């Protein structure tokens, strides 16, 4: 009678299952995911180049995995193929070599189980916040009432409950990005890809957003792969930091962040943070010298 | 609220008053007889009389029908063609020379031919209106669809939008501000198209009334009253489109 | 003026203002040339001592398309009758509605227009007068193929008749013709041809009868080998046909010149009546394309000449204006339900001025 409702319940069930898995185990050792369960994201020997003139190689032989419920940050300088990596995982680009699997299935194109938050909010300027958040649900055929209710919940979840009726140009940069995150979460994706989502925000707002993102992650149990420029952001959020370097980009280090959860901004002063930070910097600089 | 309305209306009223006063002064100072340039009050009373005695009304009905049908058909075809031009380089290469040639041919010269082929009834006027409306809307649609943000189209891909969903949820709303630019031009051209069509032969319509007033009644005030009616029709149509545009496009910052 | 003259007026209507400007421009140029001419060429007074003053420019408005119907004007120009009258005549081709207004405004000194247009124009305050009759018989007619069996106006009852629209001189003529047989337009099946296609419709048999011009459609029909019947309105209501009109200010300020113009034109008409080929040659000299089909043009000219004279002009002289006929026409037009006359119908003295005719 009401497919959306059935579907909603079904996804909720899977979500509960995911939350039940030990996703928030502090500072997991980050290498391959839990035995028996396929990795949420598995990238194997991936290479990709843009066919511009002259051709622009972007990634060379990249391999790594992200366990279900894990939060992994990808860090690297400009041009090391960070965004390309996310687009490959999202199925927006196809690798030239190697293969990619999400939830154990090979990626052959965009998958509704994968949410994507771009560097820019990319909201439709003619729609209100609520309608923007509801877009994926609308495209998936949800009824108006069901999708509006869900979009309202999501806006509350991302901390932007009062902007339902406002259009993007009436929102602050931060609220726009919150709305974009809410939209990415609309279909309860098992995997959420974030491409430098906070790079346009000022430092203070950014810190607040990192705290908010952490609680969203905890609330939804989604596997998150976050691309960032900022070492402190990577350390604050991630269970593990994948360091990309070179042109084309290669993985030069994977640094586990052994910090308890939930983390607070104060935790950023801990010695473990400076150690991790030093390790990441060393990896980046080694590559620069080479 | 009332003060704001007053403040918005005041300049409009001032300009209109200035226009009428200048017109009256021109008549008085130039000493023009009514059959050359009737004074505003004569035109106004002729306009009222012509509406009261039913002289104008049937002609307005005819012209309005021609405009609306021609506009709907012309803009409908233009939207489809404009989209095809935007999405297919082949379509653009094949069609655009003909479109430009058709646009460059004066409709004034085509109108008698169209009347010859399709008769002097409604059909020929609707065709002329459609033709004149077509080009600006087709071009605006093409440019509009091409200008839709590629980043938004990528969002559509992420959420696996079907081609129809891309069209209805992303391309059309995204192109709408530019399309409406073309529609505004098209609507005013539709009025001109109807009048030209009527001049190429017609039994009724405001264009016919112009010819009657000028050619067999020698009634210059009626000619002016008809021109005013045509202008009012154009303005009303334009406002209507602005209203629809405001509803559909709204503020986008 | 005829059908040919009226038809293109529809399509070119929008060009009116531009043509007006062109005409004004041409007029100014002519005046400048006239003003500068004598000074530039030295001392004409010495050369032409004793002769008349330099010719007065006179702008004459004819129908829209130059045609054999204006042969008398071309002949008078080419034969020098206008020059002999002290005139320097320039022809302007204007469609009828613009022409009446331009004559009233004074841009054109004298023009040719039908009487049924002068009446509504004067009723609207346009200061023009009808000063000389050219078409002593009303040129608008109803015609039919002889095979249709239509012989009188009464035979039109219940038949299909084609006409461009319910306005203008053809419409007035049709109502006058029908009223003479006790009929009204509603007694006929009237088909409107706003594209002036009623002639073609009659030729193809789509209508039984059509309105037209005595010197156009029936002539063409006969030339194509079909016998035609023509119903004329003159016996019923003697409507005033095309004649010369002038503005009231021109009548007072240029009376001598207008009188000379009328006299020269009437003289050319008499010569053409006597020898139509003379008129045809003059028309071809003025409008060379007319020479492509002399047979048709001669037929049109002969039909045109046929309308120049009536019993009234025979009795009162060429160009004479039948005041009684005008009075009847005003009464008739005022009685029509869709009368084009605005307000109180004008009296005959407001419509005509016979002071410029040759005595």
Chain B nearest CA to C339, separation (Å): 9
Residue with tokens 């003479």: C180
Q: Write out the DSSP string of C248-296.
A: HHHHHHSHHHHHHHHHHHHHHHHHHHH-HHHHHHHHHHHSGGGGGGHHH
Q: Do A139 and B155 touch (CB under 8 A)?
A: no
Residue C128: closest CA among chain B residues belongs to which residue? B35
Of B152, B154, B162, the CB nearest to A124: B152
Of C9, C117, C124, the CB nearest to B35: C124
Q: Looking at residue C257, what is its pLDDT?
A: 95
| Same-domain pairing of A171 and A223 | no
Which of B42-51, C10-19, C208-217 is predicted with the least confidence, judged by mean pLDDT? C10-19
Q: Do C340 and B216 touch (CB under 8 A)?
A: yes
Mean pLDDT of C333-350: 91
Contacts of A119 (CB under 8 A, 6+ apart): A83, A195, A196, A197, A199, A200
Q: Which has the closest alpha carbon to A222: A68, A58, A29? A: A68
Q: Do C10 and B199 touch (CB under 8 A)?
A: yes
Of B112, B115, B216, the CB nearest to C120: B216
CATH value of C2-135+240-351 in 3.90.1640.10, 3.40.190.10, 3.30.70.600, 1.20.140.10: 3.40.190.10
Buried/exposed code over C338-355 (b: 16+ C-beta within 10 A; e: otherwise): ebbbbeebbebebbbbee
| Same-domain pairing of A132 and A181 | yes
Residues of B in contact with C104 (CB under 8 A): 33, 35
Give every strand in the sheet of C160-163, ordered side by side: C189-192, C160-163, C209-213, C140-145, C228-231
Residue B170: closest CA among chain A residues belongs to which residue? A124
Q: Give how many domains chain A has, as a whole number.
A: 2
Superfamily of domain C140-231: Periplasmic binding protein-like II (3.40.190.10)
Tell whether B32 lies on the interface with C, counting CB pairs under 8 A.
no
Residues of A in contact with B156 (CB under 8 A): 139
- Counting CB pairs under 8 A, whether chains B and C reach 3 or more, is yes
Tell whether B108 lies on the interface with C, counting CB pairs under 8 A.
yes
Chain A nearest CA to B243, separation (Å): 16
Q: Do C11 and B34 touch (CB under 8 A)?
A: no
Q: Which has the closest alpha carbon to C145: C232, C205, C211, C213? A: C205
* Residue A276 resides in a domain: yes
Helix (H) or strand (E) holding A227: strand A223-228
Q: From first to last of the 290 residues of chain A, give the pLDDT tens digit.
A: 344 433 333 333 333 333 333 333 333 344 444 456 788 999 999 999 999 888 899 999 999 999 999 999 999 988 899 999 999 999 999 999 999 999 999 999 999 999 999 999 999 999 999 999 999 999 999 999 999 999 999 999 888 888 999 999 999 988 999 999 999 999 999 999 999 988 888 888 888 888 889 988 998 899 999 999 889 899 999 999 999 999 899 999 999 998 888 888 777 777 778 888 888 888 888 766 65
In chain B, the largest separation of any two C-alpha atoms, in whole Å, equals 73
Q: Looking at residue A288, what is its pLDDT?
A: 64
Residue with tokens 């790594």: A64
Helices (H), chain C: 2-12, 16-40, 44-47, 71-78, 81-84, 96-105, 115-123, 168-180, 198-204, 217-223, 248-253, 255-274, 276-286, 294-308, 311-316, 323-335, 348-351
* Residue A51 resides in a domain: no
| Same-domain pairing of A281 and A140 | no
| Same-domain pairing of A202 and A288 | yes
| Same-domain pairing of A72 and A202 | yes
| Same-domain pairing of A82 and A156 | no
Residue A141 has phi, psi (to 5 degrees) of: 90, 15
Chain B nearest CA to C312, separation (Å): 27
| Same-domain pairing of A88 and A195 | yes
Q: Which domain holds residue A205?
A: 67-94+106-113+189-290
Chain B nearest CA to C314, separation (Å): 31
Helix (H) or strand (E) holding B84: helix B57-87
* Residue A2 resides in a domain: no
Chain A nearest CA to B151, separation (Å): 7
| Same-domain pairing of A163 and A238 | no
- Residue C114 half-sphere exposure, CB side, CA atoms within 13 Å? 29
User: What's the CATH code of the domain at A266?
Assistant: 3.40.50.300
| Same-domain pairing of A208 and A280 | yes
ipTM: 0.79
* Residue A225 resides in a domain: yes
Does C2-135+240-351 match C140-231 in CATH topology? yes
Residues in chain B: 253
pLDDT at C236 over 90: no
| For testing contact with chain B, the best of A139, A184, A197, A200 (most B CBs within 10 A) | A139
Q: Looking at residue A2, what is its pLDDT?
A: 41
Q: Looking at residue A22, what is its pLDDT?
A: 32
Chain B nearest CA to C276, separation (Å): 32
Q: Which of A138, A160, A187 is the last residue of a domain?
A: A187
Q: Which of A136, A161, A187 is the last residue of a domain?
A: A187
Of B111, B112, B212, the CB nearest to C167: B212
**How far, in Å, CA of C252 to CA of C220, rounded?**
42
* Residue A179 resides in a domain: yes
Contacts of C69 (CB under 8 A, 6+ apart): C1, C2, C5, C63, C215, C300, C301, C304
Band (pLDDT 50/70/90 cuts) for residue C14 is: very low
Structure tokens at C316: 């009162």
Which of A29-43, A150-164, B173-187, C256-270 is predicted with the least confidence, judged by mean pLDDT? A29-43
Of B151, B159, B252, the CB nearest to A135: B159
Chains that touch B (3 or more CB pairs under 8 A): A, C
Antiparallel, parallel or unpaired: β A191-195 and A41-50: unpaired
Q: Which has the closest alpha carbon to A255: A273, A268, A269? A: A273
Q: Do A167 and B154 touch (CB under 8 A)?
A: no
Q: Do B156 and A139 touch (CB under 8 A)?
A: yes
The CA radius of gyration of chain C, in Å to the nearest whole number, is 21
Q: Do B112 and C11 touch (CB under 8 A)?
A: yes
| Same-domain pairing of A159 and A197 | no
* Residue A44 resides in a domain: no
Residues of B in contact with C126 (CB under 8 A): 33, 35, 218
The most confident of B110-124, C62-76, C177-191, by mean pLDDT: C177-191
Q: What domains are defined for chain B? A: 54-248 (1.10.3720.10)
* Residue A166 resides in a domain: yes
**How far, in Å, CA of A228 to CA of A119, rounded?**
10
Q: Which of A187, A203, A234 is the last residue of a domain?
A: A187
Q: Looking at residue C97, what is its pLDDT?
A: 64
Chain B nearest CA to C251, separation (Å): 18
Q: Say if residues A110 and B157 touch (Cβ distance below 8 Å).
A: yes
Q: Where are the domains of chain C?
A: 2-135+240-351, 140-231
In sequence order, what E strands does B47-100 have? none
Q: Do B218 and C195 touch (CB under 8 A)?
A: no
Band (pLDDT 50/70/90 cuts) for residue B9 is: confident
pLDDT at C256 over 70: yes
| Same-domain pairing of A149 and A208 | no
Q: Looking at residue A59, what is its pLDDT?
A: 94
Q: Looking at residue A64, what is its pLDDT?
A: 95
Q: Do B215 and C168 touch (CB under 8 A)?
A: yes
Question: Is residue C208 classed exposed, middle or buried when 0-12, 13-18 and 19+ CB atoms within 10 A define those classes?
Answer: buried
Size of interface A-B (CB pairs under 8 A): 61
Tens of pLDDT along B72-120? 999 999 999 999 999 998 988 998 898 888 888 888 888 888 888 888 8
Antiparallel, parallel or unpaired: β C189-192 and C228-231: unpaired
Of B33, B36, B203, the CB nearest to C194: B203
Of C101, C167, C340, the CB nearest to B35: C101
Chain centroid to Cα B246, Å, comes to 18
| Same-domain pairing of A203 and A278 | yes
Tell whether A207 lies on the interface with B, counting CB pairs under 8 A.
no
Residue with tokens 């109108």: B111
Question: Is residue C174 classed exposed, middle or buried when 0-12, 13-18 and 19+ CB atoms within 10 A define those classes?
Answer: buried
Tens of pLDDT along C115-130? 999 999 999 999 999 9
Structure tokens at A183: 């939209």
Q: Do A126 and B165 touch (CB under 8 A)?
A: no
Q: Looking at residue A99, what is its pLDDT?
A: 93
Q: Do B215 and C96 touch (CB under 8 A)?
A: yes
């Amino acid at each position: 009678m009401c497919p959306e409702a059935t579907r909603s319940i079904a996804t909720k069930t899977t979500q509960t299952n995911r939350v039940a898995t030990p996703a928030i185990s502090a500072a997991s050792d980050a290498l391959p995911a839990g035995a028996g369960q396929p990795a949420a994201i598995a990238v194997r020997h991936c290479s990709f180049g843009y066919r511009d003139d002259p051709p622009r190689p972007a990634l060379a032989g990249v391999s790594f995995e992200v366990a279900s419920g894990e939060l992994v940050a990808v860090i690297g300088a400009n041009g090391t193929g960070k965004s390309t990596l996310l687009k490959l995982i999202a199925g927006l680009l196809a690798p030239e070599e190697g293969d990619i699997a999400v939830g154990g299935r090979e990626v052959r194109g965009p998958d509704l189980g994968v949410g994507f938050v771009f560097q820019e909010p990319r909201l439709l300027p003619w729609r209100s916040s609520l309608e923007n958040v509801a877009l994926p649900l609308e495209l998936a055929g949800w009824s108006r009432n069901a999708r509006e209710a869900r979009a309202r919940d999501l806006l509350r979840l991302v901390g932007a409950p009062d902007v339902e009726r406002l259009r993007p140009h009436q929102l602050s940069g931060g609220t726009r990005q919150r709305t974009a995150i809410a939209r990415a979460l609309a279909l309860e994706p098992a995997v959420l890809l974030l491409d430098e989502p906070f790079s346009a925000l000022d430092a203070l707002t950014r810190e607040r957003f990192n705290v908010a993102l952490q609680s969203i992650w905890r609330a939804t149990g989604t596997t998150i792969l976050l691309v960032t420029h900022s070492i402190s952001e990577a350390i604050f959020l991630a269970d593990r930091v994948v360091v990309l370097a070179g042109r084309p980009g290669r993985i030069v280090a994977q640094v586990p962040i052994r910090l308890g959860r939930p983390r607070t901004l104060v935790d950023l002063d801990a010695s473990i943070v400076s150690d991790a930070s030093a390790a990441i910097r060393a990896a980046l600089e080694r590559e620069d010298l080479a | 609220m009332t003060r704001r309305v007053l403040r918005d209306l005041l300049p409009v009223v001032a300009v209109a008053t200035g226009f009428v006063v200048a017109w009256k002064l021109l008549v008085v100072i130039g000493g023009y007889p009514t059959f050359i340039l009737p004074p505003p009050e004569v035109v106004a009373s002729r306009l009222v009389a012509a509406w009261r005695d039913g002289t104008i009304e049937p002609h307005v009905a005819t012209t309005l029908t021609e405009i609306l049908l021609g506009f709907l058909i012309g803009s409908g075809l233009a939207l489809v063609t404009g989209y095809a031009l935007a999405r297919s380089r082949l379509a653009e290469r094949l069609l655009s020379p003909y479109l430009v040639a058709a646009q460059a041919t004066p409709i004034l010269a085509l109108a008698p031919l169209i009347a010859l082929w399709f008769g002097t009834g409604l059909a020929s006027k609707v065709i002329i209106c459609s033709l004149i409306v077509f080009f600006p809307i087709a071009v605006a649609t093409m440019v509009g669809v091409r200008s839709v943000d590629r980043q938004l189209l990528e969002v559509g891909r992420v959420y696996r939008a079907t081609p129809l969903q891309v069209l209805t949820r992303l391309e059309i709303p995204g192109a709408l501000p530019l399309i409406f630019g073309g529609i505004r031009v098209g609507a005013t051209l539709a009025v001109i198209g109807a009048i030209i069509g009527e001049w190429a032969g017609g039994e009724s319509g405001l264009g016919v009334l112009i010819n009657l007033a000028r050619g067999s009644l020698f009634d210059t005030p009626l000619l002016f009253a008809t021109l005013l009616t045509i202008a009012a029709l154009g303005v009303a149509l334009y406002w209507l489109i602005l209203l629809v545009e405001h509803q559909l496009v709204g503020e986008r910052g | 003026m005829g059908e040919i003259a009226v038809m293109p007026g529809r399509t070119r209507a929008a060009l009116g203002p531009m043509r007006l400007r062109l005409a004004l421009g041409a007029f100014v140029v002519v005046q400048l040339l006239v003003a500068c001419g004598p000074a530039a060429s030295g001392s004409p007074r010495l050369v032409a001592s004793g002769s008349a003053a330099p010719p007065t420019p006179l702008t004459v408005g004819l129908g829209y398309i130059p045609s054999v119907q204006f042969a008398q004007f071309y002949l008078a120009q080419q034969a020098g009758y206008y020059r002999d009258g002290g005139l320097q005549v320039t022809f302007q081709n204007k469609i009828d509605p613009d022409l009446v207004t331009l004559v009233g405004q004074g841009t054109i000194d004298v023009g040719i227009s039908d009487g049924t247009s002068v009446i509504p124009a004067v009723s609207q305050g346009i200061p023009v007068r009808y000063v000389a009759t050219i078409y002593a018989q009303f040129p608008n007619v109803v015609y039919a193929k002889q095979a249709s069996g239509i012989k009188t106006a009464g035979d039109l009852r219940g038949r299909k008749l084609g006409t461009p629209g319910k306005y203008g001189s053809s419409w007035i003529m049709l109502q006058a013709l029908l009223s003479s047989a006790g009929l009204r337009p509603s007694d006929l099946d009237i088909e409107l041809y706003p594209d002036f296609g009623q002639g073609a419709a009659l030729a193809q048999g789509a209508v039984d009868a059509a309105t037209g011009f005595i010197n156009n459609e029936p002539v063409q029909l006969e030339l194509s080998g079909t016998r035609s019947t023509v119903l004329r309105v003159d016996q019923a209501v003697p409507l005033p046909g095309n004649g010369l009109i002038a503005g009231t200010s021109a009548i007072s300020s240029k009376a001598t010149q207008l009188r000379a113009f009328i006299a020269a034109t009437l003289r050319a008409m008499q010569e053409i009546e006597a020898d139509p080929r003379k008129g045809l040659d003059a028309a071809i000299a003025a409008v060379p394309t007319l020479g492509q089909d002399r047979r048709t043009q001669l037929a049109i000219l002969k039909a045109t000449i046929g309308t120049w004279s009536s019993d009234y002009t025979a009795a009162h002289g060429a160009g004479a204006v039948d005041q009684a006929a005008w009075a009847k026409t005003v009464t008739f037009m005022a009685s029509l339900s869709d009368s084009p006359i605005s307000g109180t119908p004008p009296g005959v003295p407001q419509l005509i001025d016979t002071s410029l005719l040759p005595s």
